[in-house]
A and B are shown apart, each in its own frame.
Chain A
Amino acid sequence: MDQIFTLDVHGLRSKLAAHEVSPVEVVRALARRIEAVDPAVRGYLSIDLERAIGEAEAADVTKPLGGVPIAIKDVISVRGAPCTCGSRILAGYRAPYDATVIARLRAAGAIPFGRTNMDEFAMGSSTENSAFGPTHNPYDPARTPGGSSGGSAAVVAADEAFAALGSDTGGSIRQPAAFCGCVGFKPTYGRVSRYGLVAFASSLDQIGPFTKTVRDAALLLNAIAGVDPCDSTSLDEPVPDFTTNLDRGVKGVRLGLPREYFVSGLDPQVERAVRQAVEHYAKLGAEIVEVSLPHTEYALSTYYIIAPAEASANLARFDGVRYGYRAEQPGDLLEHYGRTREEGFGAEVKRRIILGTYALSSGYYDAYYLKAQKARTLIRDDFSRAFRRVDAIVCPTSPTPAFKLGERANDPLSMYLADVFTLAANMAGICGVSIPCGFAEAEGKLLPIGLQILGNSLEEGRVLQVANAYEQTTDWHKRRPQSVTGNA
């Protein structure tokens, strides 16, 4: 009972359904755990405990996620709750509506619980760009949890949440999952409704789950996936039960190793862990095939045109007129805008808005935005070709394990390179997951390493099957950080 927070969603569900524990007891136990651990992790921005208890009292434990508290990245709207997006410009704002994913979680019986920290407007790879201070990696508080969904990854890894939702625009679920040693799943673009997700780059953003196990990721996907009349870009495709094929193994499954992902800049410990994972798959009966994604070298450039360009328009609405921060006593309208946005946004957001505005501005549109959209086609075609030959692609999630807080803060380009293996999937619109596949040693600390498994569009089931085959035959996912949590 005391250690109930160590359970995964699947395990918690069994106990709730069997009435061995009540939803209210679960919420209270979680709150105690957070109180003990979060001062060191700083994964949560806010928690409305009273409301969560109220919802727990009313929870229907017969539902698929009945009574399960789920942490929500502070970029997803929950009616009546803050939604700061890690930004000063949304200080004080409370969403008057539920995002579709929240409505779906509620329909499945889950309890949205707490708001997790993030890089401001999901722009960043370390959660250091939060206006409310960084989140610390549970494995080494001197290091970042990755980003932008660093809070969600850290609270799941530190047993401060059974599961969490995050968002992934260029790797913002998978990269922090890799850094924190948990499972992070990015669905196919359009699989999960974006309605209520504060937009960073609309054509790339997807909501996905952070969980302790692959099975839990399937359970959460079951709850949140599916077409939504409020999101034109959501896909009207049948949603299978993602748990059905979890245990089918990888015998005869063809796994592609992209040549371009094993290059200089890849940390040797990461490379070793990933290659060992690939060997492990071979032993399980998978067929390993080398594939080529020839336009990989253009992915970062393409991404850093498209995403900031879309963001420059998406973030224009933060102007202090209808909600959020407003500069005091502006002399005129121009000053109202200029100072509200100067004082409300952090440096990285300003940088990206300026970059994106520039890429769309008169005379540069063709050279930057249009060119990037064409490059995006080539990147997408790379994956289409590869998926004609293989069932899934396996590669590192990030070139390095978690880096130190402050290490890359003043060098945007080096920060951007942390996403070099993840952002192509967003541009291709395909799905992918990061799962724990080992540890690197750095300065006496063990740091998790993530294995990325990418699948073709709508092939979430296949990706989960491949991921689960690995998880079921390894122990990495059972490890827990010692440094901040203290639990055995």
Chain B
Amino acid sequence: MKSDYTATIGLEVHVQLKTKSKMFCGCAVAYGAEPNVHTCPTCLGLPGALPVMNLEALKLTALTGLMLKCQIAPVCKFDRKNYYYPDMPKNYQISQYDLPICERGEVPLYDLAYPKDAQKSIANPGKRVRLIRIHLEEDVAKSFHFESSTGIDFNRAGTPLMEIVSQPDIELPEEAFAYLTSLKQALIYGGVSDADMEKGQLRCDVNVSVRKRTDAAYGAKIELKNLNSISGVRRALAFEINRQIEALERGETLRQETRRWDDDLGETTLMRTKESAHDYRYFPDPDLLPVRTEVFLDEVRSRLPETPWEKRERLEKDYGLSAYDAGVLADDRPLSAYFEAAARGSARPKSVANYVMNDLLSALGAAGQTVEECPVRPEDLKALVTLVDEGRINSKQGKDVFSEMFSTGVDPQTIVRRKGLQQESDLGAIEALCREVIAANPKVVEDYRGGKSVSINFLKGQVMKLSKGKANPALVGETLQRLLS
């Protein structure tokens, strides 16, 4: 971005909540079902049907608010937002207007949330994006466009939908990426949503304007649509900011409009210029009663999970992990839970972390399994690290034992015993091997004694070879040193 310009970016994120049933009726929330099999008089907007609030949806929204340090309103209510569209069964959406359930709050942008290529050059480290509000509403149906008609499937209609509105605090495409990554992680952590953008569980509208740094007034607000991935949001913003700056440089005036991002072409195109202002005619929904949140807040507080950023700090502190390792583990809630189960009480938590992040993840990846399906029990991994740590097997053997554990689920002690992998730690036997090697390599021994201390590594290697890898390398080193001194 040309340095004399600055961008102002605000995001509206819609999140489908992970409830069993819909927001105002008992129909199942299900993805990928046959069309119109999860509908009832209420979510089809049939004459006479009425809504009743799903308490769990309110709790999940409050939980999100607490995780993001929002203020939870003591009283909230639902309003009708009136507009006509075939995917809206009642032609009004039940939403929250002036009394949303959560206000304020923030999303922290931690380093690992940024795109990999941008993590080395973060413009505003430790930035927190402020939120305006989080409210609850109902999702609309899904439309399928055919040649001459549009088909509508109401399965999705009425799914609890949380709208998270940020302040226009974001200035860079990378920050928008980090915001969405961090937010998504919090949602998954809280069990609030699976937040899969491809499945439409997390959807995002972006507003972006550009102005000269010297200008006080914001530029024209451009809304971007059709953003289907977090990286797509970054690419769309990068393109759009550049486009706007170039337009301004050419002396053009930008107008408020909605543009569609085409991820294949890598460009935005005009969808519509600002239409006549919407007149949504919000008013309190007389079918629903106000909500006093105090009755369920205690229970929600008890469900409050450690946030990803809190976990990151704690992993560094409690297990002595590097910021990077702590970040990678905290990124993945099941993985960090696995790690903690294995590392708790271990003398070598960092070695545990290495096994988890390298051997375990690659084995899982190759097997196409999730951490929850991992055949290696955390306590067995801990035992394996201890075996290596105590020198009972060497680290190369450790890798082999791990593969065996992963494919059989057998504990490491049994594998070591069965395979006769126990290291040779008998001093007499090791000494005999060492003497044999010293005798066979007079030239190297001479070099060592003459001050070339690295020569001992060659001798060590020969001893190991002679023992078929079974000799305890630490003991071999000590013995050689003693014999050569």
Chain B 74-97 interface residues, beta-carbon cutoff 8 Å to A: 80, 82, 84, 86, 89-92
11 of the cross-chain contacts (CB-CB < 8 Å) are: A83-B47, A90-B47, A195-B49, A195-B50, A199-B287, A231-B52, A313-B281, A317-B89, A323-B46, A337-B84, A365-B282
Assess whether A38 is interfacial by the CB under 8 Å rule: no
With A321-B152, A360-B82, A362-B279 already in contact, the answer to whether A95 and B46 are too (CB < 8 A) is yes
Nearest B residue (CB) for A202: B286
A-B contacts besides A195-B49, A309-B283, 7 pairs, CB < 8 Å: A85-B47, A99-B48, A313-B82, A313-B90, A317-B45, A322-B46, A323-B47
Interface residues of A, CB < 8 Å — how many? 43
Most B CB within 10 A of own CB, among A95, A96, A233, A317: A317
Asked if B277 lies at the interface with its beta carbon under 8 angstroms from chain A, I say yes
Contact assessment for A333 and B52 in the assembled complex, using a CB-CB cutoff below 8 Å: no
Whether A317 contacts B91 by the Cβ 8 Å rule is: yes
Q: Is A325 an interface residue (CB 8 A)?
A: no
* Option from A77, A233, A319, A362 in Cβ contact (under 8 Å) with B48: A77
Interface residues of B in 232-282 (CB under 8 A from A): 277, 279, 281-282
Cβ–Cβ < 8 Å partners of A365 in chain B: 281-283
Query: Which 6 pairs of residues, A with B, have the shortest CB-CB distance?
Result: A316-B91, A203-B286, A360-B281, A202-B286, A198-B47, A196-B48
Give the interface residue-count category, chain B: 20 to 34
In the assembled complex, the CB of B428 is this many whole angstroms from the nearest CB of chain A, namely 82
Asked whether any CB of chain A lies closer than 8 Å to the CB of B51, the reply is yes
Residues of B within 8 A of A323 (CB): 46-47
Question: Which residues of chain A from 299 to 352 have any CB-CB distance to chain B below 8 Å in the complex?
Answer: 309-310, 312-313, 316-319, 321-323, 333, 337
In the complex where A97-B41, A233-B289 touch, is A316 in contact with B48 (Cβ < 8 A)? no
Closest CB of chain A to B384's CB: distance in Å? 55
Is B53 on the interface with A (CB-CB < 8 A)?
yes
Q: Within the complex, what minimum Cβ distance (angstroms) separates B11 from chain A?
A: 25
CB neighbours of A319 from chain B (8 A) = 84, 86, 91
A317 and B283 contact, CB distance less than 8 A: no
Given A231-B50, A232-B52, check contact A316 B82 (CB 8 Å).
yes
8 Å CB contact of B286 from A97, A195, A310: A310
Query: In the complex, which of the residues A83, A99, A233, A365 has the most CB atoms of chain B within 10 Å of its own CB atom?
Result: A233
**Within residues 161 to 188 of chain B, which ones have a CB less than 8 A from any CB in chain A?**
none
Question: Is A93 within 8 A of B47, CB to CB?
Answer: yes
B44 at the interface (CB under 8 A from A): yes
Q: Mark B35-71, 1 if CB is under 8 A from A, else 0.
A: 0000001001111111111000000000000000000
Contact of A472 with B by CB under 8 A: no
The answer to the question of B288 belonging to the interface, with a C-beta cut-off of 8 Å to chain A, is: yes
Find out whether the CB atom of B287 lies under 8 angstroms from the CB atom of A362. Answer: no
| Residues on B with beta carbons closer than 8 Å to the beta carbon of A361 | 279, 281
B47 and A230 form a contact (CB under 8 A): no
Assess whether A83 is in contact with B80, with CB atoms less than 8 Å apart. Answer: no
Q: Say whether A223 faces chain B, with CB atoms less than 8 Å apart.
A: no
> Shortest Cβ distance from B317 into chain A, in angstroms?
48
Chain A residues with Cβ below 8 Å from B82 are 312-313, 316, 360
A362 touches B47 (CB 8 A): no
